[in-house]
Structure 1
């Protein structure tokens, strides 16, 4: 285990009375789109031990339990874990306070890890990727979602301006941080992230473009079920061009 390694990361936004469960109000499409992606990547497979790293109040942990015998919600925020006590009350999902760069699992203990909506808080993910690789068994699977700076709208804008997309993470914070160590908000270059993962010993197997129809206008005029039906068709073909704002990467531990 990695109990002696101190983490430099903070989850202060989520430990100051922030109710993340409310964030998902009116986001039925986004939630369903992410579940469609995970089900597609895990279809027909069974795992022994899984962890949802940075999984908040357990929104996706119940889904993982359908594919794994034992699931741990490894979440750094106590506020989130408190919310998980209610959300996961009827399940056997284990809830532990853990940071992604200092996981408390033994080497090779897990055969499945998911990390969704976490990368946009991690400008430099080298330590997190090393930990994921450490706790995964050889041949184990990781599904990592990446907030994609190179989505279609940005690529079009950069091309029009005659510029190339940045390879480094880009801050998308719209309000000045109120604390020096406030949680980061960044989008990533997918190719850079894939290279970082490969350096950690995690090899890309497949990817999906997710939340391709994320638009307030569309959500006002098109029922969520219809959006999800179209989303299901688009995720795989649009992945090649990193079209959407969210890219799901399926990786294998070497």
Structure 2
């Protein structure tokens, strides 16, 4: 999350991000599967989870890195992390201003942050700056071109610019943005930042209240596990995970 307004949103009492994940076991499992698939066989000295909230996925990085730092702008989320994941190192930091030296981090993850960034240019450049030349980054993108949206835009094409998905009554300057991105646009932004896409996964492919209600969790997760690679070339899901390297 890239500015004070976004940090304040997650500091406020109206937003309980820990409780937000109640009932989202499928989405959490889908994201764990994607991270594990992209990182299996890798090992890193220092991993930094940018904008990782209370460390929901940061703790998974201990399997792949000797040292894990949660870099999060919200003081409240860091306090929760200290309670529920005391093994994590934490630092209060904006995604566009990370307190790490150039090339000093060999794994950077940024999950569920891009949807708060209508213009992620500064954040992507910062990832490239701190990333070791032979390191890796995993960035998740809220996918504007997911299957259902392609049906809605049939004959018109997917907009190239980010689209704010908030309802009109919630679109105020003092409210946090929620945007979906065109993946072609993001790929160009990554290239401009000096990052190249090495692998793509389609994630949360069966994100549906109806499916979660009628399909047993373990079956839905198994379906997700099988679909992430198969549906990647179709950019099917609402969430796309990108494994990145420096160009």
What TM bracket, shorter-length normalisation? over 0.9
User: Which residue of structure 2 aligns with residue 28 of structure 1?
Assistant: 25
Structure 2's unaligned 5+ residue stretches are none
> Are the structure 2 counterparts of residues 65 and 36 from structure 1 closer, same or farther at C-alpha, using a change threshold of 3 Å?
same
User: Which residue of structure 2 aligns with residue 139 of structure 1?
Assistant: 134
Measured against aligned partners, the alpha-carbon deviations of 1:148-172 in whole angstroms (never above 9, x if no partner) come to: 010000101211xx21110000000
Tell me by how many angstroms 1:31 deviates: 0.2
Matched residue SS, 1:206: strand
Q: Are 1:14 and 2:33 matched, yes or no?
A: no
- What is the aligned length? 245
> Are the structure 2 counterparts of residues 11 and 176 from structure 1 closer, same or farther at C-alpha, using a change threshold of 3 Å?
farther
> TM-score normalised to the size of structure 2?
0.96
Q: Are 1:116 and 2:107 matched, yes or no?
A: no
Q: Which 4+ residue blocks in structure 1 deviate beyond 6 angstroms?
A: none
Q: Are 1:64 and 2:57 matched, yes or no?
A: no
User: Which residue of structure 1 aligns with residue 82 of structure 2?
Assistant: 85
Q: Are 1:249 and 2:245 matched, yes or no?
A: no
User: Which residue of structure 1 aligns with residue 229 of structure 2?
Assistant: 236
Contact 1:75 1:99 in 2 (8 A): yes
CA–CA distance in structure 2, aligned partners of residues 20 and 8 of structure 1: 17
User: Which residue of structure 1 aligns with residue 176 of structure 2?
Assistant: 183
Structure 1's unaligned 5+ residue stretches are 1-5
CA–CA distance in structure 1, aligned partners of residues 133 and 46 of structure 2: 13
> Are the structure 2 counterparts of residues 31 and 7 from structure 1 closer, same or farther at C-alpha, using a change threshold of 3 Å?
closer
CA–CA distance in structure 2, aligned partners of residues 187 and 178 of structure 1: 15
CA–CA distance in structure 2, aligned partners of residues 10 and 166 of structure 1: 25
Measured against aligned partners, the alpha-carbon deviations of 1:194-245 in whole angstroms (never above 9, x if no partner) come to: 1100110110001000000000001001111110101000000101010000
> TM-score normalised to the size of structure 1?
0.93
Tell me by how many angstroms 1:174 deviates: 2.1
CA–CA distance in structure 2, aligned partners of residues 143 and 63 of structure 1: 13
CA–CA distance in structure 2, aligned partners of residues 197 and 220 of structure 1: 37
Measured against aligned partners, the alpha-carbon deviations of 1:170-201 in whole angstroms (never above 9, x if no partner) come to: 00012634863321110000111011001101
User: Which residue of structure 2 aligns with residue 205 of structure 1?
Assistant: 198
> Are the structure 2 counterparts of residues 178 and 200 from structure 1 closer, same or farther at C-alpha, using a change threshold of 3 Å?
closer
1:224 pairs, out of 205, 217, 220, with 217
